[in-house]
């Protein structure tokens, strides 16, 4: 094992604590050198810094221009700088560090305590912070995000025929797209940081009225969540498969080679399906597992990923349509909102009334956050498809030993590589060999006090054996979406291989991102190893009305596959009722 990955950062002395919480949802796997430098360091992290300045929580010039301290990369793995994030709780009068930590970690026992730094307290920023907070609490429409949606859709629609475009022209396209990573992440930073406000305010109101489940219900059934949209479209396509004997037979035969088989068929149902499918890929092909990483396959570059999800969704009964689930949550939300309003009116507490009404509007940030991410993911995929084309082209010409070795480049090496690709052949092959080692180790959940253990001391994946939970045992997680559900546990560790998940089973996952969302339509409930109140699993579960528990540590290792369990989304408890 190599001691240190050549792309790794030096931890910040000013903000020394880092965490994989939420970072594991962003980049579950090690970042490639090209993904880290092209997308993150030289684009998106610049937007992250600029977004923090716009919130008022960070002063202009307080973070570095190069490798701004919002995050860190250690052992190739992406970390969020916890110390830096906590400035929102320290400097924002509407939040506390404790509320912020709860949103990130639940009651995780190893969270490093907050220790004040002399530069933390910045009363000169309070006016800007309050102005930004007030903006969030009054923002019902945000045309800038809608414009970004139209612009990124147009970017995809106006993509050149990359197969017939010269390598130098492809490089020019890459440089044209790169600044959109920066500007897109500035807006995403605003929505991500703003998403923690509503849960924090609602938690305070819930405590005041004695209803700790209220925040989850009020933040459910919001509608217009972009990351859920592909699932609704996929559901409609799945009904055509389910209602076609021919298409059902083809899916039963397996998704490998499915599109080729259908292309050679003259069955009447096939043309309609392929029209829908091609439109789906144009609209949503940018999505996929690990979609922040430019080297990761998307639904466009590897359609079998989406077909595998469709294969599970088609098994679900019509009565489980996502519109039905969502409408139930929307109705519950409206009922709860009116109930809280009545309670607060009886109490006559004007401060709480104002806090609650502001929190309802601030909840829009959940929707806005999914839109900014979707806009940005479209941009990342435009870079991705060009890198894949260049990699395949250079491998065919003998300049790369493998097409994926292109992702071992650094951003600053791209021009030299396109001009003289054979100069990089051996170096990239060696980097690829070293990079493979990063996948064999488990990154520490926290990096504390700026101390990164040598990679030789990290746990080896699969080496640690977990004792399976026995009947009657309770795993404590964090409530994500209300409701109680009993069913069979199905452990799925890769959304590209969900074949074991049957309708109504409980999805047990390490983490989720939008690539997992269609599986939520098959599942009866969701349990995730990590996550907080604004994590993807929570947002989507609330949209689809699924009981959900997050931060159930090591659930994928401790809950036996096939065990009968109960998920309580109100208390965060997962009870093993019966094992195999």
Question: What would the 3-class secondary structure string for 510-545 be?
Answer: CCCCHHHHHHHCCCCEEEECCCCCCCHHHHHHHHHC
* Among 422, 438, 454, residue at a domain's last position: 438
For 248-294, write each residue's pLDDT tens digit. 999 999 999 999 999 999 999 999 999 999 999 999 999 998 899 99
Alpha-carbon distance of 407 to 242, in angstroms, equals: 39
In a domain, 191, yes or no: yes
Mean pLDDT, range 370-383, rounded to an integer: 95
Say yes or no: 28 and 138 in one domain.
yes
In a domain, 81, yes or no: yes
User: Which pLDDT score is estimated for 103?
Assistant: 67
Q: Percentage of the chain surpassing pLDDT 70?
A: 99
In a domain, 163, yes or no: yes
- Classify residue 502 by burial, with Cβ atoms within 10 Å: 0-12, 13-18, 19+: middle
Say yes or no: 371 and 481 in one domain.
no
Say yes or no: 38 and 93 in one domain.
yes
For 92-107, write each residue's pLDDT tens digit. 887 788 877 876 776 6
What's the token pair of residue 149?
Answer: 């949606």
Place of tokens 């810094």: 49
In a domain, 1, yes or no: no
User: Which pLDDT score is estimated for 161?
Assistant: 96
Helix, strand, coil share (%) of the chain residues, nearest 5: 55, 10, 35
Task: Enter the pTM of the model.
Answer: 0.90
User: Which pLDDT score is estimated for 407?
Assistant: 98
3-state DSSP call for residue 158? coil
Say yes or no: 393 and 488 in one domain.
no
Q: Which of 106-110, 115-119, 149-153, 363-367 has the lowest mean pLDDT?
A: 106-110
Q: How many helices (DSSP H) and strands (DSSP E) are in the chain?
A: 24, 14
Alpha-carbon distance of 418 to 412, in angstroms, equals: 12
pLDDT band, residue 335 (cuts 50/70/90): very high
Alpha-carbon distance of 580 to 259, in angstroms, equals: 37
pLDDT band, residue 200 (cuts 50/70/90): confident
Say yes or no: 185 and 49 in one domain.
yes
Count of structural domains within the chain: 2
* Among 438, 466, 485, residue at a domain's last position: 438
What's the token pair of residue 330?
Answer: 């929307």
In a domain, 53, yes or no: yes
Say yes or no: 423 and 533 in one domain.
no
User: Which pLDDT score is estimated for 247?
Assistant: 98
- Helix 245-252 to helix 268-284 angle (10° resolution) is 60
In a domain, 168, yes or no: yes
User: Which pLDDT score is estimated for 324?
Assistant: 86
Alpha-carbon distance of 536 to 519, in angstroms, equals: 13
Q: Residue 530 sits in a domain of what CATH number? A: 3.50.30.10
* Among 421, 438, 455, residue at a domain's last position: 438
Say yes or no: 168 and 27 in one domain.
yes
Alpha-carbon distance of 208 to 215, in angstroms, equals: 12
Say yes or no: 518 and 396 in one domain.
no
Say yes or no: 97 and 150 in one domain.
yes
For 529-580, write each residue's pLDDT tens digit. 887 777 778 888 888 889 999 989 899 999 999 999 999 999 999 999 999 8
Say yes or no: 420 and 490 in one domain.
no
Q: Is the pLDDT confidence value at 109 over 90?
A: no
| Structural domain containing residue 74 | 18-195+363-438
Q: Residue 460 belongs to what H/E stretch?
A: strand 459-460
In a domain, 394, yes or no: yes
For 47-75, write each residue's pLDDT tens digit. 999 999 999 999 999 999 999 999 999 99
Computed over every residue of the chain, the mean pLDDT equals 93
Q: How does DSSP classify residue 164?
A: G
**HEC-encoded secondary structure of 342-392:** HHHHHHCCHHHHHHHHHHHHHCHHHHHHHHHHHHHHHHHHHHHHHHHHHHH
Q: Which of 112-121, 378-387, 537-546 has the lowest mean pLDDT?
A: 537-546
In a domain, 34, yes or no: yes
Alpha-carbon distance of 162 to 389, in angstroms, equals: 7
User: Which pLDDT score is estimated for 494?
Assistant: 87
Say yes or no: 414 and 492 in one domain.
no
pLDDT band, residue 225 (cuts 50/70/90): confident
Please, are residues 222 and 367 in contact by the beta-carbon 8 Å criterion? yes
User: Which pLDDT score is estimated for 107?
Assistant: 65
Paired sense of beta strands 506-509 and 484-491, if any: parallel
For 416-460, write each residue's pLDDT tens digit. 999 999 999 999 999 999 999 999 999 999 999 999 999 999 999
Alpha-carbon distance of 17 to 113, in angstroms, equals: 10
Mean pLDDT, range 181-204, rounded to an integer: 91
Say yes or no: 512 and 429 in one domain.
no
């Amino acid at each position: 094992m190599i001691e240190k990955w050549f792309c790794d950062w030096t931890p910040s002395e000013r903000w020394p604590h880092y965490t994989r919480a939420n970072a594991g949802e962003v980049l579950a796997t090690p970042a490639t050198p090209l993904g880290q430098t092209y997308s993150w360091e030289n684009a998106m992290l610049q937007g992250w810094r600029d977004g923090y300045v716009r919130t008022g929580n960070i002063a202009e010039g307080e973070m570095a221009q190069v490798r701004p301290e919002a995050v860190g990369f250690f052992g190739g793995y992406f970390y969020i700088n916890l110390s830096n994030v906590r400035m929102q709780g320290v400097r924002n009068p509407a939040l506390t560090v404790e509320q912020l930590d709860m949103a990130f970690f639940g009651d995780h026992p190893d969270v490093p305590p907050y220790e004040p730094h002399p530069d933390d307290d910045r009363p000169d920023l309070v006016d800007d912070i309050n102005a930004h907070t007030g903006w969030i609490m009054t923002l019902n429409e945000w045309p800038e995000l809608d414009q970004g949606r139209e612009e990124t859709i147009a970017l995809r629609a106006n993509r050149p025929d990359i197969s017939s475009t010269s390598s130098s022209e492809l490089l020019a396209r890459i440089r044209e797209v790169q600044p959109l990573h920066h500007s897109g992440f500035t807006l995403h930073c605003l929505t991500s940081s703003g998403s923690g406000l509503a849960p924090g305010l609602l938690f305070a109101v819930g405590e005041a009225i004695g209803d700790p489940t209220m925040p989850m219900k009020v933040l459910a059934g919001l509608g217009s969540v972009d990351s859920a949209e592909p699932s609704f479209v996929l559901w409609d396509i799945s009904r055509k498969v389910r209602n076609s004997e021919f298409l059902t037979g083809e899916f039963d035969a397996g998704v490998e080679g499915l599109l080729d088989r259908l292309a050679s068929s003259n069955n009447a149902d096939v043309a309609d399906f392929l029209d829908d499918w091609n439109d789906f890929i144009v609209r949503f092909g940018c999505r996929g597992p690990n979609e922040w990483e430019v080297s990761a396959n998307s639904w466009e570059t590897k359609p079998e990923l989406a077909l595998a999800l469709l294969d599970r969704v088609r098994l679900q009964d019509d009565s489980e349509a996502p519109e039905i689930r969502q409408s139930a949550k929307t109705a519950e939300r409206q009922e709860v909102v009116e109930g809280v309003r009545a309670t607060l009116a009886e109490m006559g507490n004007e401060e709480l009334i104002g806090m609650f009404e502001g929190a309802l509007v601030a909840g829009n940030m959940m929707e806005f956050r999914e839109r900014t991410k979707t806009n940005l993911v479209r941009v990342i995929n435009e870079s991705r498809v060009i890198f894949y084309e260049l990699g395949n082209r250079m491998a065919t010409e003998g300049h790369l030993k493998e097409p994926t070795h292109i992702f071992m480049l650094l951003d600053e090496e791209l021009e030299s590589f396109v001009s003289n690709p054979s100069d990089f052949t051996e170096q990239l092959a060696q980097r690829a060999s070293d990079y493979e080692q990063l996948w064999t180790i488990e990154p520490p959940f926290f990096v504390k006090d700026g101390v990164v253990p040598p990679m030789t001391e990290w746990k080896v994946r699969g080496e640690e054996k977990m004792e399976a939970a026995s009947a009657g045992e309770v795993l404590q997680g964090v409530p994500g979406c209300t409701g109680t559900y009993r069913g069979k546990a199905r452990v799925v560790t890769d959304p590209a291989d969900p074949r074991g998940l049957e309708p109504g089973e409980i999805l047990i996952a390490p983490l989720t991102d939008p690539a997992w969302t269609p599986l939520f339509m098959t599942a009866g409930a969701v349990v995730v190893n990590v996550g907080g109140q604004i994590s993807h699993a929570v947002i989507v579960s609330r949209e689809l009305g699924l009981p959900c528990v997050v931060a159930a540590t090591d659930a994928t290792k401790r809950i036996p596959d096939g065990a009968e369990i109960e998920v309580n989304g109100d208390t965060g408890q997962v009870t093993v009722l019966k094992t195999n």
